[in-house]
């Protein structure tokens, strides 16, 4: 306890506008009044204790409110979520109001104690932690929408279309400074600490992975250039050493990234997982008492979900994979047909032979778009309880489909047609076209949608209608008459909420950022890197240039992704992550598979076979089977030898645990001494 603790708790100075909540134009007044009251109520009264300000009401555009909080509220939220901060001694420990002097020396320093991401993350926690009380069984104004005890009110309203948008506002001065160091430079290191301080751990982990992966591409790219030079000089020796190096280098990268991600997670205070996850907003089931928390929550038997996964989703996914495989075969049949017609002296230019490959690549991109939507809906139907379970199962579906869509054609060419020149051309075509389309779709297309001419906007109106925000705004209407739900000026006055004038910069900023696309999450970005990783390492034996192209692409990707986060999309919510999730085992799978593919390609290599012409087929097969087993064993040894957690992290965690145990013992001894010092009543 410090003397100025009470002064800090009484700090009523509000923060800037942190979050925007936009309601549907036809929201019922009873619902709006109830939610706004909940936002402003004290935490002890089952509220969020936030500061609410509203924009001038426009019936055609819905109702938008600005949320902020006091510094006292932020401090209490930080303690309730057990936010981990570095103390003045440099130790990572849970924030405690009683021991606040271990973090700062005066109450004035509290304004700089929380990063921008932590502020909006704490407010988001207060927002989504606004839960229904036992007596609140229905949403006011909508008796058909049921609530259960402990359910997140905001998540429920968002899933039902009552709330159209929830997004944090950018901190423009900090964003401008971050942009100068981030996307306006080319070869400078990424300011990852500042990225985490502004966007949170989720995005910082992705950009850390992207930068780490790019740095590990430098050596394969240099070896690839050397191998390409040897090929140009008609020296084909050394390709087997390059392949072995590549697959072992992929293993080293994966294992070293495990260490790096654990190091980052510890530094960011997310290495220790949460003991219990709340159910998702769209989780459906019978309302029962939760065995852990005792709260009334939906319950759906896990065995039913597993039946849906293995008996419903899995056959459907395999059917999609068969369709993708058939389209791949059509591409090859078309190319063979064109080649046959050219031999019959048809006037077909050599460039026309590339058309099937280019068309197939475009079909892949289109199919990927549709399948990602389908995979999300299929996973939603499976009804997984937690967000982590949902994401893991969705990633598995996406990985299976993307693997077949992007790599099955290469396996077909390599091991069925055994045409190495065609394989080399196919890899180059798909890698270059996919990377160009990804850059166009992620950065250039959203800018065209926002700043393009009216003619461009008319051509792309159908594209806009399919986007998440516009679809919600246009279609997520409740089944009530507009006349019943339309708010009036009297309703707005009855809310008794402060108003933000149209001259306020926060008003203009909220309007502008409300028109931006919401960020779709890092799953798309990780998927791109997963596909690229496969192109680089699965077929090193025939296309060493893949590492060079991937390196050049990623140098551009870092700045392009940074630009889109700062300029193209709404500010994403700050998310806590421990690692890259299901993408880690997906990359490990590709790393192991790369051993099989490269050894298989070397086994089929005509130049190598000619160098060992006196070997029998059996001896040649046994040789590469032995090499393959040896490399897999080396991969396993590397995985075992390289520890997942660095030594300094293990030591720091042990010190923190010792410190907690020591303080607990001191507190127990202090309480015991106080009790013994009291006179006994006889």
Looking at per-residue pLDDT, the higher value among 290 and 441 belongs to 290
Lowest mean pLDDT among 197-206, 306-315, 586-595, 664-673: 664-673
Lowest mean pLDDT among 29-43, 297-311, 363-377, 459-473: 459-473
Asked whether 62 and 22 are in contact (CB, 8 A), the reply is yes
Write the CA distances from 455 to 445, 469, 534, integer angstroms.
Answer: 15, 22, 40
With 80 as the cut, is the pLDDT of residue 575 above it?
Answer: yes
Distance of CA 653 to the CA centre of its chain: 27
Per-residue confidence band for 453, with pLDDT thresholds at 50, 70 and 90 = very low
pLDDT at 466: 46
Per-residue confidence band for 207, with pLDDT thresholds at 50, 70 and 90 = very high
- The crossing angle, in degrees rounded to 10, of helices 523-538 and 201-215 is 20
pTM: 0.84
Q: What are the phi and psi torsion angles at 517 (to 5°)?
A: -70, 140
Of the candidates 139, 165, 134, the one whose C-alpha atom is nearest the C-alpha of residue 32 is 139
pLDDT at 433: 74
- pLDDT tens column, 4-29: 555 555 555 566 788 999 998 888 88
Looking at per-residue pLDDT, the higher value among 231 and 204 belongs to 204
pLDDT at 275: 54
- pLDDT tens column, 329-339: 888 788 777 77
Sign of the Cα torsion 71, 76, 82, 85 reads positive
pLDDT at 638: 86
- pLDDT tens column, 271-298: 776 555 667 767 777 777 777 667 667 7
Mean pLDDT for 65-94 is 82
With 50 as the cut, is the pLDDT of residue 481 above it?
Answer: no
Three-state secondary structure call for residue 414 = helix
Of the candidates 447, 440, 309, the one whose C-alpha atom is nearest the C-alpha of residue 384 is 309
CA gap 159, 152 in Å, rounded? 11
Q: What are the phi and psi torsion angles at 236 (to 5°)?
A: -100, 5
User: What is the DSSP pairing of strand 163-168 with strand 19-23?
Assistant: antiparallel
Asked whether 21 and 38 are in contact (CB, 8 A), the reply is no
Count the helix, strand and coil residues of the chain and give each as a percent rounded to the nearest 5.
65, 10, 30
Helix (H) or strand (E) holding 468: helix 468-475
Share of the chain above pLDDT 90, in %: 15
Looking at per-residue pLDDT, the higher value among 365 and 303 belongs to 303
- pLDDT tens column, 499-526: 888 888 888 899 888 888 888 888 889 9
Lowest mean pLDDT among 144-158, 309-323, 341-355, 510-524: 341-355
Region at 90 (left for phi over 0; alpha for psi -120 to 50; beta for the rest):
left
pLDDT at 238: 62
Buried b (16+ CB within 10 A) or exposed e, 261-291: bbbbbbbbbbbeeeeeebbbbebebeeeebe
Most confident of 47-56, 99-108, 353-362, 477-486: 47-56
pLDDT at 486: 59
CA gap 392, 526 in Å, rounded? 13
Most confident of 70-79, 288-297, 305-314: 305-314
Burial of residue 377, with CB atoms counted within 10 A of its CB: 0-12 exposed, 13-18 middle, 19 or more buried: exposed
Q: Structure tokens of 115?
A: 């990063």
Looking at per-residue pLDDT, the higher value among 289 and 444 belongs to 289
- pLDDT tens column, 531-573: 999 998 988 778 888 888 899 889 988 988 999 899 889 999 9
- pLDDT tens column, 581-629: 889 999 999 999 998 988 888 888 777 777 777 888 888 888 888 888 8
Asked whether 425 and 357 are in contact (CB, 8 A), the reply is yes
With 80 as the cut, is the pLDDT of residue 91 above it?
Answer: no
State the alpha helices, DSSP H only, in 383-440. 387-412, 420-439
């Amino acid at each position: 306890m410090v003397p100025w603790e009470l002064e800090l708790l009484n700090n009523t100075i509000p923060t800037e506008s942190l979050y925007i909540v936009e309601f549907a134009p036809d929201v019922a007044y009873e619902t709006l009044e109830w939610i706004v009251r909940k936002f402003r109520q004290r935490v002890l009264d089952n509220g969020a204790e936030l500061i609410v300000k509203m924009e001038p009401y426009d019936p055609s555009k819905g109702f938008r409110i600005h949320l902020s909080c006091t510094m006292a509220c932020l401090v209490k939220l930080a303690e309730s979520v057990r936010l981990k901060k570095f103390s003045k001694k440099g130790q990572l420990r849970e924030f405690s109001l009683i021991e606040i002097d271990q973090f700062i020396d005066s109450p004035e320093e509290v304004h700089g104690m929380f990063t921008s991401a932590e502020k909006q993350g704490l407010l988001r926690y207060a927002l989504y932690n606004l839960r229904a009380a036992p007596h609140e069984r229905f949403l006011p104004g909508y008796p058909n929408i049921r609530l259960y005890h402990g359910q997140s009110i905001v998540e429920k309203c968002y899933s039902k279309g009552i709330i159209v948008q929830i997004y944090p506002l950018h901190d423009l001065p900090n964003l401008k400074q971050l942009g100068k160091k981030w996307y306006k430079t080319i070869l400078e290191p990424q300011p990852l600490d500042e990225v985490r301080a502004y966007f949170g751990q989720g995005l910082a982990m992705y950009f850390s992975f992207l930068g780490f992966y790019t740095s590990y591409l430098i050596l394969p790219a240099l070896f690839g250039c050397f191998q390409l030079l040897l090929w140009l000089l008609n020296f084909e020796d050394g390709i087997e050493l390059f392949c072995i190096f590549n697959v072992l280098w992929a293993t080293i990268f994966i294992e070293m990234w495990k260490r790096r991600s654990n190091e980052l997670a510890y530094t960011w205070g997310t290495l220790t997982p949460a003991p219990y996850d709340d159910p998702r907003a769209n989780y459906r089931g019978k309302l029962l008492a939760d065995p852990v928390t005792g709260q009334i929550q939906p319950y759906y038997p896990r065995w039913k979900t597993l039946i849906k996964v293995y008996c419903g989703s899995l056959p459907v996914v395999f059917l999609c994979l068969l369709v993708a495989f058939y389209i791949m075969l059509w591409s090859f049949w078309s190319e063979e047909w064109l080649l046959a017609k050219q031999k019959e002296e048809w006037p077909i230019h050599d460039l026309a032979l590339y058309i099937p490959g280019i068309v197939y690549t475009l079909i892949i991109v289109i199919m990927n778009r549709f399948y990602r939507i389908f995979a999300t809906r299929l996973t939603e139907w499976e009804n997984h309880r937690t967000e982590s379970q949902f994401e893991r199962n969705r990633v598995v579906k996406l990985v299976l489909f993307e693997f077949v869509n992007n790599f099955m054609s290469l396996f077909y060419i390599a091991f069925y047609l055994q045409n190495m020149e065609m394989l080399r051309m196919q890899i180059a075509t798909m890698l270059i076209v996919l990377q160009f389309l990804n850059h166009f779709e992620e950065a250039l297309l959203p800018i065209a949608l926002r700043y393009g001419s009216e003619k461009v906007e008319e051509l792309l109106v159908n594209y806009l209608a399919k986007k998440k925000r516009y679809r919600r705004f246009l279609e997520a209407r409740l089944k009530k008459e507009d006349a019943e739900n339309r708010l009036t000026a009297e309703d707005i006055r009855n809310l008794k909420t402060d108003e933000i004038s149209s001259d306020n910069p926060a008003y203009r900023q909220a309007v502008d950022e409300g028109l931006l696309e919401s960020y779709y999450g890092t799953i798309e970005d990780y998927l791109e890197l997963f596909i690229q990783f496969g192109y680089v390492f699965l077929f090193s034996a025939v296309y060493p240039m893949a590492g060079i192209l991937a390196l050049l692409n990623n140098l551009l990707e870092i700045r392009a992704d940074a630009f889109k986060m700062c300029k193209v999309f709404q500010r994403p919510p700050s998310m806590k992550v421990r690692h890259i999730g299901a993408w880690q085992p997906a990359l490990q799978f590709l790393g192991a598979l790369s051993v099989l593919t490269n050894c298989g390609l070397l086994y089929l290599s005509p130049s190598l076979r000619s160098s060992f012409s006196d070997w029998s087929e059996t001896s040649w097969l046994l040789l590469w089977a032995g090499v393959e087993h040896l490399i897999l064993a080396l991969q396993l040894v590397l995985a075992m030898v390289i520890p997942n957690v660095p030594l300094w992290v293990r030591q720091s965690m042990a010190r923190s645990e010792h410190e907690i145990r020591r303080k607990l013992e001191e507190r127990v001894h202090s309480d015991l001494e106080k009790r013994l010092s009291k006179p006994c009543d006889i």
